[in-house]
Amino acid sequence: MATTLRLPTSGGTIEDYLVANSPLAAPERPAGGHAFNRVAYAAAHIVVDPLADNDPWLDRNIDWERTVAFREYLWDLGLGVAEAMDTAQRGMGLDWAGAKEVIANVQSAARKRPDALIAYGAGTDHLPPGPDVTVDDVIRAYEEQVSYVEGQGGRIILTASRALAQAAKGPEDYVRVYGRILRQVQQPVIIHWLGDMFDPALAGYWGSNDFRQTMETAVAIINENASKVDGVKISLLSAEKEIVMRRRLDPAVKMYTGDDFNYAELIAGDEQGYSHALLGIFDAIAPAASAALQKLANDDLAAFHEILAPTVPLSRHIFKAPTRFYKTGVVFLAYLNGFQDHFQMLGGQQSARSIVHLAELFRLADKARVLRDPDIATHRMKTILATAGI
C-alpha cells in the first residue's frame, strides 16, 4: 500500500507526500557473473560505528562488518569498487591512517572473490599543503601511498594532490610528478582529475585555470605514459569537457566518467566513443546502475535510458553545490535502504545538508524507484523528521 508522510519544502511549508513508486527489482546475479560492455566502479561510502565512545569530529569509528558487507553487495551486482576515495570521505573525515585500515580490510575481503573488481585511491593527503612543501616532497608522498596499496596487492587510482596544487609552479611540475610515479607503478593506474567543485583546494590543477590548457597538460601526460594508464576519471560535471578529452586520449586509455550530472548520456556514448564509469552516485543507485548496464550490454539502449533517466534528477540533487557535501546524501540513502541502522558519518558530516535537502532527496529517490523497501524508508524518514521537530 502507498503511504503518506509530511515533508518540508524549500518554501518553508510542510506538505503531504504520497510514496507511490514501486522499487526496481534488484537484478539477479547470473551464474557466470554479470557481463557488462562497460567497466563500472562505484565509489563506496564508509559505515561508522555509532556506539563508539570517542570524539566523532576527531576520531575514526568504522563499522568494519557493515562497510565490507556493502562492498560485497556492490560486487554481487557486478559493479567494481573504487575504494578510499572522496565518497569514503577521504580528506573529509578519513585521513591516510584511516584509509590504510580501510584498504587492508577491504582487500582482505576482495582476495576471497575472484570476481572482485577493485582499485584504491593513492594520493598525498598525509602531506599537508604549505609554503615549505616542495615538488620532491609531493613525489615522496605519492610513492609512500602507492607502495602501500601495491604492497597489499591492490590496483591504484592516482588521486589529485592538494599539496601538488599548491607547490607546483606550472604545468612542468605536473609532468615531472606524474611521469615519475607512472614510471614506477606495477600495474596500469586510473588517474583521477577531481574538479574544484568537489574540492576547492584543487583549483588550478594541472597548472592552469583555463580548461584548454589543463587538458593539454593532462592529455600529454596520459598519452605519453599510455602503457601505465588504464584510464582517466574526470569529475568536472561537464559532459562537453569530458567528450572533448575522451576523443583525444590514446585508444588504449579508457575514459571513466565521474560526471554525476550527465553519466547516462556519457556511458551510452555516441558514434565516436563512450565512457566507462567511476561514480559516487553508483553507490546510491547500485541496483539501477547494474540493471541499466545489463540492458546496455544487451543492446537495449531504450531500456538503459528508461532505468537511468529517473536517477539523474536524484543525482543532481545529491551533488548540488556545495558539491563536496554529496557524501551526506549518499549515506542518507544507504540509511533509508537499510544498509546501516543509523544516519551517522565520519566527522559528523551527517549535518552537512539541511532537512529540506534530505526531504527532497527522499522524494526523488522514490520517483527514481531506488528505495528498496518504501515502508522501511518511510519509517526511517519519519525518524529523521522527528529529530528536526517535524
pLDDT digits over 70-95, tens only? 999 999 999 999 999 999 999 999 99
Reply yes or no on whether the pLDDT at 183 is more than 70.
yes
Q: Which residues contact 365 (CB under 8 A, 6 or more apart)?
A: 314, 333, 336, 371, 377
- pLDDT of the residue at 31: 65
In-domain check, residue 145 = yes
In-domain check, residue 24 = no
Q: Tell me phi and psi for residue 181, to 5 degrees.
A: -70, -45
Reply yes or no on whether the pLDDT at 284 is more than 80.
yes
Read off the CATH number of the domain in which 61 is found: 3.20.20.70
Higher pLDDT, 29 or 114: 114
Q: Which of 349, 322, 323 is nearest to 335 (CA)?
A: 349
pLDDT digits over 248-274, tens only? 999 999 999 999 999 999 999 999 999
- pLDDT of the residue at 25: 79
In-domain check, residue 27 = no
In-domain check, residue 370 = no
Asked which of 27-31, 295-299, 333-337 is least confident by mean pLDDT, the reply is 27-31
**Band of the pLDDT at 58, cuts 50, 70, 90?**
confident
The model's pTM is 0.95
**Band of the pLDDT at 20, cuts 50, 70, 90?**
confident
What's the mean per-residue pLDDT of the chain? 95
**Band of the pLDDT at 135, cuts 50, 70, 90?**
very high
**β-strand partners of 157:** 121, 190
Cβ atoms of 306 and 298 closer than 8 Å: no
Give how many domains the chain has, as a whole number: 1
Task: Give the mean model confidence (pLDDT) for residues 137-147.
Answer: 98
**In terms of residue numbers, what domain contains 73?**
37-353
Reply yes or no on whether the pLDDT at 24 is more than 90.
no
- pLDDT of the residue at 21: 86
Whole-number Å distance between alpha carbons of 33 and 319: 31
What type of residue sits at position 255? M
- pLDDT of the residue at 155: 97
**What is the DSSP pairing of strand 14-19 with strand 3-8?**
antiparallel
pLDDT digits over 207-244, tens only? 999 999 999 999 999 999 999 999 999 999 899 999 99
Whole-number Å distance between alpha carbons of 263 and 278: 10
Reply yes or no on whether the pLDDT at 28 is more than 90.
no
In-domain check, residue 189 = yes
Percent of the chain whose pLDDT exceeds 70: 99
C-alpha cell at 46: 564508509
DSSP state of 45: P
In-domain check, residue 379 = no
In-domain check, residue 236 = yes
Quick one: the chain helix, strand, coil %, rounded to 5? 45, 15, 40
Whole-number Å distance between alpha carbons of 236 and 333: 23
Q: Which of 315, 246, 324 is nearest to 282 (CA)?
A: 315
In-domain check, residue 12 = no
